[in-house]
A and B are shown apart, each in its own frame.
Chain A
Amino acid sequence: MADLSAPALSVPAAPVLSPRRPAVSAIAWAVGPALLLFVVFFILPFGVMALLSVLTGNPAIQSGVTFTAQHYERFFEDSLYFEALVATLRIGAITTVASLVIGYPLAHLMARTHSRIGHALLLMAVIAPMLTGIVVRTFAWMTLLQDRGVINTTLLSWGLISSPLKLMYNEFGTIVALVHIYVPFMVLTLTGVIGRIDERLEQAARSLGANRTRTFLEVTLPLSLPGILAGSLLVFALSISAYVTPFLMGGTDVLTLPMLIYQQVGASFNLGFAGALGVVLLAVSLIVIIAYNNVLGRFAGGEKMA
C-alpha cells in the first residue's frame, strides 16, 4: 500500500505526459499531514502486526527471536480456530442478508420521499442510531432480549409463552444486534443508488401494464443492483470485525475471530498468534474492501469516491 503514496510526493514539478491531465498543482502538498499520519499510524503498525505473526517472540524485549510459521500452523491445525473463522463469516453473511432485507424498503422510501421535512426526518431516524455507540446499542439489545428483558417479560405477562425464550447468549441475539448496528450503512448506500434511478422508467413500466410487483422486480431491483452489492460488501466487512456485540450477546455460544484476537492479547498475551489471527482477518477484509471499491468505482464511472 505504501507504493500508492509515492507518486503524490514525487511528482509535483514533473511534466505530465497525458494531455488531458493538468499539471500537479502546489496544493497537492496538502496531502502531506494525512500521508504522514497514515504511514506512521496505519501502514507501519500493520507491518509490525504482520512481522510479529512470523516471529517467535517480541524482538524488543527478548533475544534470540527467529522467524517461524508456528502461529499460522497453529491456526490451521486446531479446528477451534478454523471454526471461529467459519462462525465469523457465517454471522457476517447472515447479518448482511438480514440488513439487505430490512434496509431495502426503508432506503426505497427515503429515495422516493421528496418532501424536505419527510426526507430529513427519515435521515435522522437512520443516522441517530448510527451515532450512538456500539456499546450503548448492544446494551439496549441486552435489555430487550435477556430472560427478564422487555420482550420476554411482555410475552410472559400476556400469557403467550410459559417460560422465557432464549433470545440472547446465542448466535440469534448476536445477529439481531449486529443487524441493528449495521443496517444504517446499508440504507445509506442503497438510498443513493435508488435515488439516482430515473422514476420515469418505473412510470413507463406501469403505463405499459406492469403491476407494482413486476415493475419493482424488472425495473427497480435490477437497476439498484450496484447499491445492493456495495451495501452488502460494506455491511459484511463491518460485521466480521465486530467484537463487543458477539462478546456480550453471544455468551459462551459464540466465538468469532475478533474475540479470539483480543483473548490472545488480553488473557494469553501471545502477540505472535494474535498477529497471525489478525493477518487472517485482514486478508478476508481486504478482499471484501477491494471488491467494494471496484463496485463503487465501476458504478460511479471513476468520477468520485466520496
Chain B
Amino acid sequence: MQTNPHVRVHDLSVSYGSTPALNRISVDIPEKQITAVIGPSGCGKSTLLRAMNRLLENSDGVSLSGSILIDNENIYDPGRDVTEIRKKMGLLSQKPYPLPMSIFENVAYGPRIHGMKKKNEMAETVRHYLTISGLWEEVKDRLHEPASRLSIGQQQRLCLARGLAVEPEIILADEPTSALDPKSSQKIEAEFKHLKNRYTIIIVTHILRQARRLADYVLFMYLGELVEHGPAAQIFENPQHEMTKEYIRGIIS
C-alpha cells in the first residue's frame, strides 16, 4: 500500500529561544493514511504538528529552518498566504475548544469566513459535517444552543466537524482523546478510521495502544530527533533502532 507523500518535511529544525525543540527532521508523510507520531512527552511531537499549520510562529521567540512541502509547495515560502495553508488542515487539540457561539455557528464559522453566504447551502453544510463527525443525531434538535453545553466528548466531535467544514485535505490531531472518557475516545478513533479514505490524518499520541490501533505509518521521536519512521507493522513488529525497541516494549516512556 505504497502511496504518494502528501506532506514532505525537509531538514526542519525549531528552537524556542536558545532551547532546541526539533533537530533536522526529514520525513515524508503518506497521503490518505493515518500517521501516528509517538514518543515520550517533551520529544517535539506537538511542535512538529504545530509547525505544519504554522501556528508555531505565534509563540514568542520561535526560530525555524528547513521546509515543509504540502502538495509540493513550501508552506514557509515568503509570500504564502498563511490562512490558505491553515485552511488545508483541520486541527484537533488535546482539550476541545468550541468557539463561543452556538453548535450551528461553530460549524458554520469556517465556511462563512471563506465566503459561503446562502442560508440553505449553509444549513446543508452544517448538517453534512455534523453527520460525518457522528454528532448530528445527538444535536439536531438543539443546534442553536451554546456549544459549551455539550459534553466534552461531543465538543471534540464538534471541533472535528468544524475543522472538516472548511474542507481540508489533512487532519492534524494533537492527542485528541487525552481529555475524553473511553467511550468518547472510541468514537473519535472510529471517526478517524472512517475518515482516512478521504483525508491524510496525522495524530500525535502518547498512547502506544492507540497508535497500534490506528496507525498505518509511524514516526517515533525522542528529544527532538526523529529516531525512526516507517509503516506501522515494521515499527511495531520489527523496530530497527534500539531506542524504538525500548519504547515499544515500554522500557522508556
Q: Is this pair of chains taken from one and the same complex? A: no
CB within 8 Å of A: which residues of B? none
CB within 8 Å of B: which residues of A? none
